Structure 1
Amino acid sequence: MAVDAAHQQVFLSDPFGGSVLVTDYSGQVVKQIGGEAGAWGMALSSDSRTLYVALRDAGAIAAIDTATLQETARYDTGTGAGAYAGPTSLALAGGKIWFGYSTDAWNGALGSLDLSGAQPVVARGQGLDTFRGSPRLAATPQDPDTLVAAESDGNAATLAVYDVSTGQADVQAKRVDPGTDGCTSLQDLALTPDGARVVVACSSPYYHQAFRTADLADDGRYTTSHYPDAVAIAPDGTIAAGIDGASSPDVYLFTQDDSTAFKTWDFPASSPYATNTLQPAGLAWAPDGSRVFAVTEDSGSSSLTLQVLDLPQFATTVTVQAPASSPRNQDLTLTGKLQAPVGFGVGTTVDIWRLDDPTAGEGTLIGSATVAADGTFSYTDRPKAKGDVQYTVQYGGDARHTSAYGTVTVDITSD
């Protein structure tokens, strides 16, 4: 899956039907783009104008215009085509399109497609000593030079982290069968927005594991259940973890620092004798964090369904601290914190208002402050008026958070 926020579209690849299905945010089909032989992994350009699709059975990467929903270009990867040759996964990192492919029935490697010059340039044959099959890839725009690849032969997974800043995949860390309890049959992986951690879904153990990308050391776990098979991470860091289990919730939501889910979903089946299970790698976030998309299969009908899991806004609070008093025309620093059950995305800001006379008026907007990943912020002012000055910190809210504000009053004394 790939989610296009600019046009509010969801793209789903159909490798066996040779097409890409396009739906709107409600799950209604917009178009089926045919002629995409072995359409597998996908990646969306940073401006959301182009969808790149790995065409395993064509040995190529297709470029699709997200506005017209027409293929505009096709790039031969030089890998050959078919189940044990063509590209199956894509990720954008280091200014290139990286792809995972098979070199034969038993081995895989990394390749890249560079579209920055007058002619496309393909490079292959990286990571040859690591993967027993076509690797899955993960990257994040906030850490554009980091690429994570993973592959499992069904017994033990291999994870590798690469620095791709030079145009080559320079291995930074590698680990086979990672985790305290190993990693059997890896199904999916995702990077946190800052690129510091990778979360994996392996059929066993029965929880989702996290590893530091710096050295692939164990870095926590998320309590799910039998047969983890999907993971997706929102821009604000909220983790959606899914399983292929019939008797437990299908999807769990976590904040990064809490191993216990704050919300779960269970997909109903078409009959008491059927099951409705999440498909491998079957989770994706809307970029604004307002909903999760999930692909499920109902055993009663053997059909695939796109489930749209809408999220409510979560209550948000703002706390503000400042000195009880401060001299006029001197730096005065406000500190505070936004708090909610789910985190805040990169680029979140709060507005700072100052009211020199708390008994009248609405005050003046004097600036804004950037909110850190942990919700904290600070702002420095130089008030000129003496007496009680009231500061209000206002957060406007977003798709995941309600608006909120907090106030503090400071006694401004003589110079």
Structure 2
Amino acid sequence: MAERADALIIGGGVIGASIAYHLTLRGLKPHVFERDLLGSGNTGRSAGGIRAQFTTETNIKLSLYSIAFYERFKEILGADAEFHQVGYLFLAVSPEQLEQFKARVAFQRRFGVQVSLLTPDEVAAQWPFLRTDDVYGATHSAKDGFAGPYEVTIAFANAAKQRGAVFHEQAEVQQIVAEHGVARGLQTSIGEFSSSVVVAAAGPAIPALVKPLGIEVPVVPYRRHLFMTETFPEIPDPIPFIIDSGTGLYFRKETGGIMLGMVDKSDPPTFSMNVDDAYLEKLVEAALMRAPILEKANILNGWAGLYDTTPDHHAIVGSVDEVKGLYLAVGFSGHGFMHSPAIGAALSELIVDGAAKCVNIDPLSLNRFAAGAVVEETNVI
């Protein structure tokens, strides 16, 4: 006999934990299934960035809702998200990029984003460790920042447990059970569970899991590396989360050291999370070019995680036509952690009320690809 639950959530990362918490606020007691340990997957491997500097209305509104939530995180959940509003600084290194930045700023301000356009001299004055002779301008929003992905995941999970949610760790979902186009439950490594609500929120593992149901989810995994230096007081706290739009380099302070990453667009899709030493060479070259003082820093360690990426760099969130009661929350393209409060709130509203009210997630429907209603997010790190 299958164990009955109000809802079944696949994936114990920050998205699954947030959805579970928000469903408990509506009186449901979901079960969450994580094949490893909570927050041990791509959530725990992320840089923890939180920003509203996007180029589409949907992503901006998801960010604004989530930033407001993170600002009140301790009040709401009784735990510290380690949220540091140090700002995000995007550097433009060509006249064309500067024009794009100007358009972005105008667009973002329409939705209430507090963002400034800075001159190269202003950048050099505020952050003198940066090389700026090739910088044409920058955008900066002091409301952006970073938080602790693991801390946030555990806080959501603990709050959900207090309200009756059940989390199953080291429990792998083997099959989504559906009959006559209706979700019936899950077959897992720890037994069968039944529910009329199933939420698929396990990142790049989801396409293979829903394919037997006749659902094609255009999500591809891309590897992203992060490296940490030893304590580096030569660049004092606080500094913004800095993004070099020329090389794709990004870095910020973390526990006294520097966390560095870089987008390598030549990296093919992969499920591998092995660290590539050749990648480190490219990263160091880009880092020394932008902040020469980093020559004095020593790399302490590195790791890799996966972005579950969609063609338009927007998440896929919502119900599916093929199976009633099945909901997707995947394809966040590196933005899952920052948007997790909004996604949990909006999807819980969709499940319980039939429509999301806090943020409109209709543009994130899987159907947008077949309908040709795709709007690409271009400010992707």
More helix by share: 2
Q: Under TM normalisation by the shorter chain, which class is it?
A: under 0.3
TM-score of the two chains, using structure 2 as the length reference: 0.24
Structure 1 or 2, whichever has the larger Rg, is 1
Structure with greater strand percent: 1
Higher relative contact order (CA 8 A, sep 6+): 2
